[in-house]
Amino acid sequence: MSVRVRFAPSPTGPLHMGGVRTALYNYLLARKHGGQFLLRIEDTDQQRFVPGAEEYIREALDWCGLTPDESPWAGGPDGPYRQSERKAMYRQYAEQLIAADKAYYAFDTPEELEAMRARLLAAGVAAPAYNAVTREHMKNSLTLSTDEVKARLAGGEPYVVRLKVPRHQEVRFEDLIRGWVVVHSAHIDDKVLFKSDGMPTYHLANIVDDRLMRITHVVRGEEWLPSAPLHVLLYEAFGWERPAFAHLPLILKPDGNGKLSKRDGDRLGFPVFPLDWTDPATGERSSGYRERGYSPEAFVNMLALLGWNPGGDRELMSLAEMTELFALDRVHKGGARFDPEKTRWFNQQYLRREPDAVLGEQLRARLKTVKGIDSTPERAARAAALLKDRATFVDDMLEGLYLFTTGSPLPGNAEAEAELRKRWRPEAAPALEAYTARLEGMDRPAAAELETAFNEVLAAHGLKVGQVMPLYRLFVAGRMQGPGMFDVSALLGTQEVAARLRAGMEHCRAWA
């Protein structure tokens, strides 16, 4: 039997990274076993529908490289893949359960349900429920006569179909991550499966669709674990073999205290969504990994390790490598603590591993958009090679702007000014002048040649590198941090560097 798994989001807003992780583990499991990864939109609850959410899900998964094999957009043999488009299919399954005495019609009005709750609370029942005990006292096809049920249905009275949960049964299943889960049916209420408006509830639609779509493994978040025993009962009620279940651990706040929320991200300054999202109802914006400059590979790699241990201390992995190593029995039971710093680290690692030409193109695009500067691919690639070691994001490389401009970086540069006031020493001027003259006589020197020339000049003037290099740096780059000055100078060209050095000396001499 080939593995078929699904990611089944409800389009109620942007995808939390926990949702993306669910999609990722499903994807890995499918790829590992040569199976299929499906996407099903669970939109039976029209009240919670949010415009744009489905598009968001699609774009986010594409960005992550987790494109489903079958989906509302790609189609597939078991479509449609939107539950709202499958509406007509569900009624027959509700009716099948009623015919088999596994479910029943219930006609209780909201007032009657409320009265039942109040009665039970008054009698000291902590969590009143419509269940194997209370259903005996309610208005349903178990307590009403067949004729009365028929009359009510014929009269168009609103109803719901409820699962007839057995009174005494140990419900058990083996979760692939958690091991045996055992719940007594007394703790499960007679969940609504279907409503007279023709809409199934999540539980019925989910089970029927998993069956019709031939799903072999249900891999989903821990928040669905409490529903799993009910789902097991539903499979039994239908007489269907059930898929394997695997419930993934929660993603926890950085301090380990509870589930990671969007608010934690806002408070601590990191995104919890893959892409930017603007809430259509409130206009509230939330930032995404993509727009914050993370690469999808880094994001997905980080996410994979939130709850899964590939063995050893392996951390950097491509999707193909993860596929190779992935196994559900190496997914932890306990919550996985999210670490925003580690996430930045992943991005940095991926950035460094990019070829210079690729990074150069990204830098070039940002220079154009952010600074309005045009550069050539060659220059941008060389600059990227120098700047990438200090960068976590592509935009960090914009601090090397001086590699793309002409003229002295000093005018209007308060930070450089403050440094120069501390570091300027007139004795350095003759050495810098001599070096400048040497530069002007050189034709496209390599960084090593510049370094030799510089050291020779310093030796001749009896100066140490530490006495002159900061000035060189500030005159040419306008800042103390950055790549080596000989590399920078080789890239800028001797004439440009000489001009900046002269301008710098003039600048300092003007104080005296």
Residues with catalytic annotation? 262
- Residue 216 sits in the site that holds ligand GLU (CB under 6 A): no
In the three-class reduction of DSSP (H, G, I as helix; E, B as strand; rest coil), residue 382 is classed as: helix
Per rule CB under 6 A, is residue 304 in the interface with ligand GLU? Answer: no
Say whether residue 204 binds ligand GLU (CB under 6 A). no
Please identify, using beta-carbon distances, which residue of 5 and 300 lies nearer to ligand GLU. 5
> Angle 228-238/87-99 helices, nearest 10 degrees?
70
| Residue 42 lies near ligand GLU (rule: CB under 6 A) | yes
CA distance 313 to 333: 19
Amino acid at 142: L
Binding segment (CB under 6 A) for ligand GLU, from list 7-15, 252-260, 290-298, 341-349: 7-15
> 191 and 228 in contact (C-beta within 8 Å)?
no
List, in sequence order, the alpha helices (H) in 305-339: 319-325
Q: 208 or 218, CB closer to ligand GLU?
A: 218
Minimum distance from CB of 9 to ligand GLU (Å)?
5
Which one among 3, 4, 5, 9 touches ligand GLU, defined by CB under 6 A? Answer: 9
Using the rule CB under 6 A, give the single segment among 28-36, 107-115, 218-226, 409-417 that binds ligand GLU.
218-226
Distance CA 428, CA 425 (A): 6
CB 260 to ligand GLU: min, Å: 16
Q: Are 371 and 401 in contact (CB under 8 A)?
A: yes
What x-and-dash track marks residues 330-369 binding ligand GLU by CB under 6 A? ----------------------------------------
CB of 23 to ligand GLU, least distance (A): 10
Residue 8 in the binding site for ligand GLU (CB under 6 A): yes
- Smallest gap, in angstroms, from Cβ of residue 19 to ligand GLU? 7
Spatial separation of the C-alpha atoms in residues 26 and 28, rounded to whole Å: 5
Considering the rule CB under 6 A, would residue 44 count as an interface residue with ligand GLU? no
201 in contact with ligand GLU (CB under 6 A) = no
Kindly tell me which of 10 and 408 has the beta carbon lying closer to ligand GLU. Answer: 10
Instruction: Kindly state whether residue 206 participates in binding ligand GLU, applying the rule CB under 6 A.
Output: yes
Cβ atoms 413, 475 nearer than 8 A: no
Copy the structure tokens of residue 328. Answer: 């559900």
Residue in 203, 207, 178 with CA at minimum distance from that of residue 6: 207
CA dihedral 271, 273, 277, 279 (to 10 degrees): -100
Burial of 55 (C-beta count, 10 Å sphere; 0-12/13-18/19+): exposed
Three-state secondary structure call for residue 387: helix
Interface residues with ligand GLU (CB under 6 A) are: 8-10, 42, 206, 218, 220, 224
